[in-house]
A and B are shown apart, each in its own frame.
Chain A
Amino acid sequence: MKVLDATRPGKAPAAPAPRRRAARPRIAPLVGIVLAALAAEIVPRTGLIAGDALPPLSSVLAELGRQAGDAALWEALGRTVRTWAVGLVVAVVAGVVVGVLIGLVPILRAITASTVEFLRPIPSVALIPAVILVFGTGFESGVVLIVYAGFWQVLVQVLYGVQDIDPVAHDTARSYRFSVWGRVRYVIWPTALPFVFTGIRLAASVALVLAITGELVIGTPGIGQLISVAQSSGATTEMFALVLVTGVLGVLVNTGFRYAERAVLGWHPSVRRSAGAR
């Protein structure tokens, strides 16, 4: 409570609020990381959880170092990223095109609303057995799962975005007799862009989850499959090293898309507003 009060010194329009936060050294995140690392090292050594099944962090990191010199890891990583990228591109393109189309035509929107609401919450992993039967255990299976899951993320955001269009801007465009293409290009697209980006960012992390899940369950070559193999052959340390890799991959995808969003939309009022608010 004290800390909260210290960082919220009340608003004083005349004078800038003191920001003690900036003055303090950024030590807390480091302490957090060190504490987490120590826990990951010590807890497995004590054998409190799951006996000696858990490897300490140091041996996981050593294993990771060994694997990094092995071409197999990089090849698997490449395959996973390829599945992810192809699925994501298809999902984004399909989501944007269908979303703008549905958003532009009110009757289409009215007709499809219930179907979108119905299909969206269906878990894509439910399709795994069917996908295996139809597409086999190859690269395509993963792509299909990603496209299904990512498509809805993008579509729904695009629909929000088109809905968000300022009626005044829209009427202005109509009164100046913009063509349909002109309206899409100069009114709808700029307004919807931040929403599209949110959709892409969400789809990117969902796509990574599904790429790895597909490999894990279906057995398509990639990081997920290596984890599955390591688990069934009892190579626990190797498995943890691979899990660590997927986490790093996830952080890269999340932060990468967040930065890209800020870089591309830096001019947009919605981004500037939220940057100023915090």
Chain B
Amino acid sequence: MTDMVSVKGLNKVYESAGRRVEAIGDITFSVARGEFACIVGPSGAGKTTLLKCLAGLLTPTAGEVLLDGVPVTGPPPGMAVVFQEYGRSLFPWKTVRQNIDLPLRQKKLPRAERDRLVTDSLGAVGLADAGDAYPWQLSGGMQQRVAIARAVAYEPQVLLMDEPFAAVDAQTRADLEDLVRSLWRSLGITTLFVTHDIDEAVYLGERVLVLSASPTCVLDDVPIGLPAERDQVTSRSTSAFAELRTRVHRGIQDAKAGRRTSGAAA
């Protein structure tokens, strides 16, 4: 089976008048078709920069990103992104349905097909009745559900999520985690989920990539051997979960302390 996403020797340097900041040192990894991978790192680890390079929103200084074997040079058609700032990513002048519909119109899908996709995706995120509301009439968690519905309706090959739940309260967050997990299980979309929350990464992913502090490299690649059926209470209280969390946590602590002993103990 070919890799869906493959990153080779990625390096990103920001240059401005007289200053040169190396955000990403050297990142290489790949994600298989249908895999759910979480990317976790300390704050300031260039996570957003990495995600933007993956999404084709930033051009890497060196190295390349391949989507299904094809080099990414700009935003590729088969990729959907859910941003952390739902309030700034949804169009406040469009209703929920129109927000989800707009990218589909750009794909030139026929009307009936678009209507079906919008209705299905709204149902899938549990917002079947909110289609005619404006985003700002909804709570933060519901707005992020709309953003997820928009991504799902787009029928992407790869779904990128950039700390999507960092701005919602704890209870909503747990609900949204379960939603993303169940969507992944039913649709099988290759998913890359960026977060700074270790528990979230372990709970959601089939695999967790641990990033170092900037200039970033991959410190650890942790396979998450938890059963596919996960539950907020029981899964998080198992000893397997605790061990995985400890391993990732130690990696992050090392990263913060500036140690870059590439613990590729996978």
Q: Taking beta carbons and an 8 Å cutoff, which residues of A are in contact with B?
A: 9-20, 22-23
Contact = CB atoms under 8 A, between A and B. Distances in A.
Nearest to B44: A14
Contacts of A18: 14-16
26 contacts: A9-B58, A10-B52, A11-B48, A12-B14, A12-B23, A12-B46, A12-B48, A12-B49, A13-B48, A14-B23, A14-B44, A14-B45, A14-B46, A14-B49, A15-B21, A15-B23, A15-B46, A15-B214, A16-B16, A16-B19, A16-B21, A17-B16, A18-B14, A19-B17, A20-B16, A23-B16
B57 interface: yes
Interface of B: 14-17, 19, 21, 23, 43-46, 48-49, 52, 57-58, 214
Contacts of B19: 16
Nearest to B18: A23
A13 B47 CA distance: 9
A13 to B, nearest CB: 6
Contacts, number: 45
B17 A14 contact: no
A181 B124 CA distance: 59
A12 B21 CA distance: 11
Contact of B44 (A10, A13, A16): A13
A17 B14 CA distance: 7
A39 to B, nearest CB: 34
Contacts of B57: 10
A18 to B, nearest CB: 5
Nearest to A17: B14
B29 to A, nearest CB: 19
Nearest 7 pairs of A and B residues by beta carbon: A15-B21, A15-B23, A15-B14, A18-B16, A14-B44, A12-B49, A23-B17
A14 to B, nearest CB: 5
Contacts of B58: 9-10, 12
Interface centre among A15, A16, A18, A20 (most CB of B within 10 A): A15
